[in-house]
Amino acid sequence: MLSRRRLLVLGGLTGGVALAPFVQSGDTRNAQPQHGPMHGRMHGAAHDHAGRVPAVRSGPAVTPFSVRMPVPATRIPSVQTADTDIYRMSVQPATAQILPGLSTPVLTYGGAFCGPTIRARRNRRTLITFDNKLGHETNVHLHGGRVAAVHDGYPTEVIAPGSGRAYLYPNAQPGATLWYHDHAHHLEAENVYRGLHGFYLIDDEDERRLGLPSGGYDVPIMLRDALFDDAGNLVFDPADPYNRPTLLANGKPQPYFEVAARKYRLRLLNGSTHRVFELTLDGARMTQIATDAGLLPAPVPVDRLVLSSGERADIVVDFGQAPLGGHVTLNDVAGPVLRFDVVRRAADRSRVPAQLRPMSPMPTAVQDRKLVLSLDPVNIRALINDRVFDPARVDMQVRRGTTEIWEVTNSDTNVGGSGFGVPHNFHTHLSHFLLLSRDGKPPLPGEGGWKDTVLIQPGETVRLQVDIGSHLGRYVYHCHMLEHSALGMMGQMEIVN
Ligand code: C2O
Ligand code: CU
Ligand code: CU
């Protein structure tokens, strides 16, 4: 099924309207002013869907705030040894109730559409055996995890149908909101789209002492989009990733969530394979406390949060700012995502300290590199430095324990002469990085912590200081718009001594 779909994509993209699918129709302006001539065109495209002829325009209409948002269940380890939590989880097809009154076939971890949440503790190991009960290959990658190469879910190291594989995660890293998802080469976009995604949270003693909202007031929320047909089936069209009009929060369309009038920590993840969420909160203020790899040095008040595929932001929201019985709404530029209904009072002894986690100084970078991301619509390929991913080719050798400066450019201001630009983003496995600048300008305050994924607008160059990490072996880096990594926008580094 997957390979037939891929053929359709390739065929579809070589036709006369070939470029439409690659071209952004949503409005994904970043908080920074746009650079270059493309902004006007991209912005115009948000109001002009001409040229796109999707097979399914939109699924069944859903009344916003008519279903409750669930919180994904936390998985209990099946065995706990002195230093390891041991889990077993199947990767299996299932049926989910996503749209009211309809059943949707999905792919799942453990039967649950968003996947169970794994809660790990810093410096205590997690061992998870995943049993592949799908009819095709899969593998598992812990996004944001610093794990040995053999446990990283390398794209060609897959789990054959009917077999299992154990992944060991040391959790030797500060507390953070991570997630796990499929990474089987060429299949990752569809596998993740169909549901192979779940939260993986690392708890940290130092973090606990800060007194941030915790327990039931610490809520992971996976945001993503989808396209459904009228029968409720998920439609995966990698050639038209911008036509996914249904917004899901923890697997439900534009749900509501009942909260107490107090502070909550909300761990927001963009689990879409392509969409850039541009979020605002109506009725209360957002304070960002963490980004991809964990706590920021200090809390940052934010009006607007831009999250590209794979990025996370932890925010604290005080629902005590709203009246009892009132609503606070999380909105994307495309529409409301989630409504918080303030239904009860509750004691609140949590706090948001002025200092969260000091940034540890980084050793001086030993190497500069330039990476250029581009689409090749003529040959239906997606490239880094003009090459598609080749597992047999090492694109760079890097030295363990060092830092490097990587300048990553999105050169797609005018894809195939269409006059349209497309955004990309950039994700590194194993290594975390600091965003030093965007086109020479300082990053937003909320981007000031350790990250593993960064949005890059058309024509933009981000400058990263990459902390390579302490493992050896081959790790990939790629555009996390997974329709692009599936077409080859991925490279690999080999970490040597
Ligand atoms: Cu979230 Cu290489 O992945
Ligand atoms: Cu990753
Ligand atoms: Cu991309």
Quickly list DSSP for 75-141: PPPSEE-SSEEEEEEEEEEEEE--STT--EEEEEETTBSS-PBEEEETTSEEEEEEEE-SSS-B--E
Spans of the chain below 50 pLDDT:
1-54
H helices of 267-334, in order, are none
Question: Does any ligand 1 atom lie closer than 6 A to the CB of residue 478?
Answer: yes
- At 275-311, the pLDDT tens digits run 999 999 999 999 999 999 999 999 999 999 999 999 9
DSSP string, 232-261: S-B---TT-TT---EEEETTEES-EEEEES
Using left for φ > 0, alpha for ψ between -120 and 50, and beta otherwise, residue 379 falls in: alpha
Burial of 441: CB neighbours in 10 Å, binned 0-12, 13-18, 19+: exposed
Nearest atom of ligand 1 to the alpha carbon of 476: 2
46 φ, ψ to 5°?
A: -65, -25
* Atom 3, ligand 1: residue with shortest CA distance: 143
Question: Does any ligand 1 atom lie closer than 6 A to the CB of residue 265?
Answer: no
Do the beta carbons of residue 243 and residue 195 sit within 8 Å? no
SS3 category, 170? coil
Do the beta carbons of residue 57 and residue 455 sit within 8 Å? no
Q: What is the pLDDT of residue 472?
A: 98
Question: Does any ligand 1 atom lie closer than 6 A to the CB of residue 185?
Answer: no
- For 106, the token pair is 């999905």
SS3 category, 448? coil
Write the DSSP symbol of residue 152: S
Kindly list the structural domains of the chain, giving each domain's residue range(s) and its CATH number in brackets, ordered by start: 1-54+359-497 (2.60.40.420), 79-207 (2.60.40.420), 215-344 (2.60.40.420)
Q: What is the pLDDT of residue 56?
A: 64
SS3 category, 212? coil
Contacts 24+ apart (CB under 8 A), 2-8: 2/136, 2/186, 2/187, 2/190, 5/190, 5/236, 5/238, 6/186, 6/238, 8/239
Do the beta carbons of residue 155 and residue 476 sit within 8 Å? yes
Q: What is the pLDDT of residue 361?
A: 87
Question: Does any ligand 1 atom lie closer than 6 A to the CB of residue 421?
Answer: no
Query: Could you tell me which of 97, 84, 168 has the C-alpha nearest to residue 128?
Result: 168
- Ligand 3 mean position, distance from CA 373 (Å): 7
H helices of 280-409, in order, are none
Do the beta carbons of residue 136 and residue 3 sit within 8 Å? no
- For 71, the token pair is 């919180």
Q: What is the pLDDT of residue 55?
A: 58
- Ligand 1 mean position, distance from CA 183 (Å): 7
Nearest atom of ligand 1 to the alpha carbon of 429: 2
Ligand number nearest CA of 426 is 3
Query: Could you tell me which of 229, 490, 295, 469 has the C-alpha nearest to residue 381?
Result: 490
- At 380-406, the pLDDT tens digits run 999 999 999 999 999 999 999 999 999
Q: Strand (E) positions, 133-255?
A: 141-143, 164-169, 176-181, 197-203, 218-226, 246-249, 252-253
Question: Does any ligand 1 atom lie closer than 6 A to the CB of residue 274?
Answer: no
3 state SS for 343-370: EECCCCCCCCCCCCCCCCCCCCCCCEEE
Amino acid at 200: Y
Residues 6+ apart with CB under 8 A from 249: 69, 221, 222, 223, 255, 257, 330, 337, 338
CA distance 208 to 203: 8
- At 132-148, the pLDDT tens digits run 999 999 999 999 999 99
CA distance 273 to 255: 20
Nearest atom of ligand 1 to the alpha carbon of 181: 1
Rg of the chain (C-alpha set): 21
Residues 6+ apart with CB under 8 A from 211: 349, 350, 351, 353
Question: Does any ligand 1 atom lie closer than 6 A to the CB of residue 197?
Answer: no
7 φ, ψ to 5°?
A: -60, -40
DSSP string, 254-280: S-EEEEESSEEEEEEEE--SSPPEEEE
- For 469, the token pair is 């990490």
Q: What is the pLDDT of residue 445?
A: 83
Q: What is the pLDDT of residue 94?
A: 98
Question: Does any ligand 1 atom lie closer than 6 A to the CB of residue 432?
Answer: no
CA distance 266 to 286: 10
* Atom 1, ligand 1: residue with shortest CA distance: 143
- Ligand 1 mean position, distance from CA 476 (Å): 9
- Ligand 1 mean position, distance from CA 164 (Å): 20
Query: Could you tell me which of 317, 227, 333, 239 has the C-alpha nearest to residue 277?
Result: 333
Burial of 167: CB neighbours in 10 Å, binned 0-12, 13-18, 19+: buried
